[in-house]
């Protein structure tokens, strides 16, 4: 079975996912039944613990989806345990420069190229059933390692950040970019930065992703050239559906 990076590399591929804020298997199963390709378990903007993140990883994969985890921050402190939990990959939030990317990538790559510790008896090592060679090979070549670029200066340095060893995917946060620039998300200056990022990512052969609020915006992102798109999140999908139902009842 192709890993997530291989799927993203297929011509014309655009994988559709959503953020996971809730730690419940029932909602994960519903997302899988709805047809999402992958989920991103959000440890930055949701109260996930290691245990809830782990259970979401196992659940999502068991239901047939790829499971990524957005780390709590760009320090990389948590990345060892997340990768050994068997996640298909991680998103590193708010990467500002190449040095930040280099530091967190170091902890995701095994020695001698990096400093990731050997955890063959973890879930990523199939509880010791994988050989050390298989475990190391998968960790170094098959794990999705995406950097989130969310500030003006980060996008201006995108080619340097994406050139860091270990970076094999990129993501643009349009909402935080708008905050950073002080301009609306759809302002031409922000659009130009994002278009340049897409161009650079294509040149480097790296998949580029983003997050949007609804299906219409997801279609636009796909047509713009994004390879993976997160649409809304599990809790907002529930909240908006509930609010729409109540509005219909009261009106």
Q: How confident is the model at residue 162 (pLDDT cuts 50, 70, 90)?
A: very high
What is the number of structural domains in the chain? 1
Cα 73 versus chain centre, distance: 13
- DSSP state, 210? E
Q: How confident is the model at residue 179 (pLDDT cuts 50, 70, 90)?
A: very high
pLDDT by residue (tens digit) across 5-52?
999 999 999 999 999 999 999 999 999 999 999 999 999 999 999 999
> Residue 190 has what pLDDT?
95
Do residues 144 and 166 make contact, with C-beta atoms less than 8 angstroms apart?
no
CA–CA dist 33, 29 (Å, integer): 6
CA–CA dist 154, 167 (Å, integer): 14
Burial 188-221 (b: 16+ CB within 10 A, else e): eebeebbeebbebbeeeebbbbbbbeeeebbeeb
> Residue 251 has what pLDDT?
87
Phi, psi of 191 (to 5 degrees): -60, -40
Q: Which domain holds residue 206?
A: 4-250
> Residue 185 has what pLDDT?
84
List residues bridging with 171 in a β-sheet: 148, 209
> Residue 58 has what pLDDT?
98
In this structure, the chain runs to a length of 251
pLDDT by residue (tens digit) across 110-154?
999 999 999 999 999 999 999 999 999 999 999 999 999 999 999
Domain of 242, CATH number, reads: 3.20.20.60
Whether cis (ω within 30° of 0) applies to the bond prior to 134 is no
| Rounded alpha-carbon distances, angstroms, from residue 89 to 71, 176, 181, 186, 219 | 10, 22, 29, 29, 24
Q: Where are the alpha helices (DSSP H) in 18-173?
A: 25-34, 50-62, 79-84, 98-106, 132-141, 152-156, 158-162
> Residue 186 has what pLDDT?
86
Model-level pTM? 0.96
> Residue 6 has what pLDDT?
97
List residues bridging with 85 in a β-sheet: none
The helix/strand count (H/E) of the chain reads as 12, 8
Residue 68 above 80 pLDDT? yes
Q: How confident is the model at residue 207 (pLDDT cuts 50, 70, 90)?
A: very high
Q: What is the mean pLDDT of residues 79-105?
A: 97
What mean pLDDT is reported for the chain? 96
Q: How confident is the model at residue 224 (pLDDT cuts 50, 70, 90)?
A: very high
């Amino acid at each position: 079975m192709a890993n997530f990076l291989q799927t993203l590399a297929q011509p014309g591929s655009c994988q559709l996912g959503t953020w996971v804020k809730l730690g419940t298997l029932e909602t994960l199963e519903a997302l899988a039944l709805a047809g999402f390709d992958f989920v991103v378990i959000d440890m930055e903007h949701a109260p996930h613990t290691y245990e809830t993140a782990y259970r979401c990883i196992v659940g999502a994969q068991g239901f047939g989806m790829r499971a990524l985890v957005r780390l709590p921050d760009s320090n990389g402190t948590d990345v060892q345990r997340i990768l050994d939990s068997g996640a298909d990959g991680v998103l590193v939030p708010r990467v500002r420069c190449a040095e930040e990317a280099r530091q967190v990538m170091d902890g995701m790559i095994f020695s001698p190229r990096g400093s990731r510790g050997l955890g063959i008896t973890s879930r990523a090592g199939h509880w010791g059933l994988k050989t050390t060679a298989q475990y190391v090979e998968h960790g170094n070549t098959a794990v999705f390692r995406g950097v989130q670029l969310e500030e003006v200066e980060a996008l201006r340095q995108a080619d340097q950040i994406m050139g860091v060893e270990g970076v094999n995917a990129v993501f643009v946060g349009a909402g935080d970019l708008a905050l950073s620039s002080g301009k609306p998300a759809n302002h031409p200056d922000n659009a130009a930065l994002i278009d340049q990022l897409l161009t650079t990512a294509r040149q480097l052969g790296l998949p580029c992703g983003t997050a949007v609020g609804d299906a219409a915006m997801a279609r636009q992102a796909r047509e713009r050239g994004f390879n993976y798109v997160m649409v809304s999140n599990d809790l907002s999908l529930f909240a908006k559906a509930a609010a729409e139902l109540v509005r219909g009842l009261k009106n």
